[in-house]
Structure 1
Amino acid sequence: MYMLIRVLVPAVGSSEAASTTRYALDCLIGIRIGIGNSNGNGASTAFDYYKTLDESTTRYRDHPRYGDIDPALSLQSETGRQFLEDAVEAQEAWLHKTLDKLRVKLESLDLESVIDDVNLTRFDWYRLGQFAGPSVWIYDRHGAGLRSRSAVERHLEHNGEDKLWVVPADVHY
């Protein structure tokens, strides 16, 4: 499956932002040792591969759902801020939906059924606890997942919003 993630990176311009993002993405697919993977051999990675939007083969390029997305957007721009906010809102909506589903499952199952992963109950727990992968939409320049609105806000405060760019990437998992 594919998804569009966002990476927050410090940069002077769009091309530097896209270039800097590749380090985080390489960590997330296991090419580099980093936060997004558990070991150096890539045995446990968040995603299989990626494309940035400055590549002509990217599947989200001119996609009707996303429109004409720039390869990198400054957080100084309204478009950049909205693009990041959309990801924060989508991530929060997914979390709330998954938590609600998990609550219903836990209320209807006995302990043995939960242990046996009936209705993928344990899988939902696993996804809720992920620090990278399909349940996380936003990452920093090191490939660390920013899993909540407060994590994004702390990152912006710590790094100075005026220097940050949000770079979309098409990833496969």
Structure 2
Amino acid sequence: MHLVIYALVDASTEDEALAAGKSAFATLVGSRYAPFDYYVTFDEEGTTVAGKARWGDLPTAARLDSPAGEELLEVAWTATEREFERNLKKIRDGLSEFDDEEIMRDTDLVRHACYALGAYRGPAVHLYTETGDGIRDAVHLEEVIDRLETPWIVPADVHY
């Protein structure tokens, strides 16, 4: 499956932002324990199933204080909240509907929702720092933005 994730990075130029974003994404792919199989940034041409071919023309990188950057951040944060709420609802519903044995067997994927809700990286997390750490709550998001001198947001299409 594919989804778009985003890295918040500190950079002076778009090229520096893209390089920092690629560095963050590289920590999320390529090993047995990495949550994603591969990534494609939106500067890459010629892909037929990922990046622009799948999602259209997203910016390669955008300053966070630009209209494009604000829009990317809004999309990323909305996806983060939606995924959190979806998993939390599945857990609450499952705990009231199923007994312990059914939950242990992962009936209706309740146990998987517990895993996703607690994940620090992977498909349930849409925003990352420049070191590849997941941003999972609003306080952490604000702390990351406040630490960056010139914040940029870099999208990438990932496969998992």
TM-score, structure 2 length as denominator? Answer: 0.92
How far the C-alpha of 1:62 sits from its partner, in A, is 6.4
- Partner amino acid, structure 1, of 2:7: V
TM-score normalized by the length of structure 1: 0.85
Return the match for 1:143 from 107, 132, 142.
132
What is the DSSP-based 3-state SS (H/G/I as helix, E as strand, rest coil) of the residue aligned with 2:39?
A: strand
Task: Work out whether residues 62 and 69 of structure 1, in 8 Å CA contact, stay in contact via their aligned partners in 2.
Answer: no
Is this contact kept in 1: 2:44–2:51, CA < 8 A? Answer: no
Stretches of 4+ aligned residues off by more than 6 angstroms: none
1:153 to 126, 130, 142: 142
Q: Which amino acid aligns with 1:126?
A: Y
Q: Is 1:27 aligned with 2:18?
A: no
Match of 1:9? 9
| 1:104 aligned residue | 93
Q: CA deviation at 1:67?
A: 4.9
Counterparts of 2:46 and 2:120, CA distance in 1? 28
Asked if the contact 2:42/2:57 (under 8 Å) is kept, the reply is no
Percent identity over the alignment?
36
- Asked if structure 1 preserves the Cα contact closer than 8 Å seen for 2:41 and 2:51, the reply is no
Alignment RMSD, CA only? 1.5
User: Unpaired runs of 5+ in structure 2?
Assistant: none
User: How far off is 1:8 after superposition?
Assistant: 0.7
The separation in 2 between residues aligned to 1:90 and 1:103, in whole angstroms, is 20
Aligned length: 158
